[in-house]
Amino acid sequence: MNPNTKETIMTILLLIILVLVINPGHIWMPDMITMSLSVCLLVAFALFATFVFRARAHDEREHMHKLMVGHTAFLIGAGMLSISILYQSFHHEFDPWLSATLGAMILTKLIGIIWVGKKN
């Protein structure tokens, strides 16, 4: 069994749930309870995948790869949030959660850099 099989399966399941919640093109018409349960399932699964389930690095090379993947994910997330904020500003819509999320990401990165700098 491939060592990345669990992560791959969890990612595919998370993407499937995400597509069902987003419901592109209104393919299915869920009632309010079904939609609420789908969102709750998405949030619970995303929290589990993000905070509980973690891949452990066995050596320095794997640890470096894990750090590079985390950095890349941060950059893609910040870029997507920035594009979303820009898109909404052109359409005169504003979701404060996008700005709050981007701000929290950047603030957390800054605090982490300061903490690591003081620790070394």
Q: Say if CB 101 and CB 78 are below 8 A apart.
A: no
The answer to whether residues 64 and 110 belong to one domain is yes
Neighbours of 49 (CB within 10 A): 15
Q: Which residue has the tokens 């990345």?
A: 4
Range of the domain at 22: 1-55
The answer to whether residues 62 and 112 belong to one domain is yes
Q: What is the pLDDT along the chain (120 residues), one digit of tens a residue?
A: 676 787 788 888 888 888 888 877 777 777 888 888 888 888 888 888 777 676 677 889 888 988 898 899 999 999 999 999 999 989 888 888 999 999 999 999 999 989 988 987
The answer to whether residues 40 and 88 belong to one domain is no
**pTM for this one?**
0.70
The answer to whether residues 49 and 81 belong to one domain is no
The answer to whether residues 5 and 47 belong to one domain is yes
Q: How many domains is the chain built from?
A: 2
Q: Which residue has the tokens 């990612």?
A: 11
The answer to whether residues 47 and 63 belong to one domain is no
The answer to whether residues 63 and 119 belong to one domain is yes
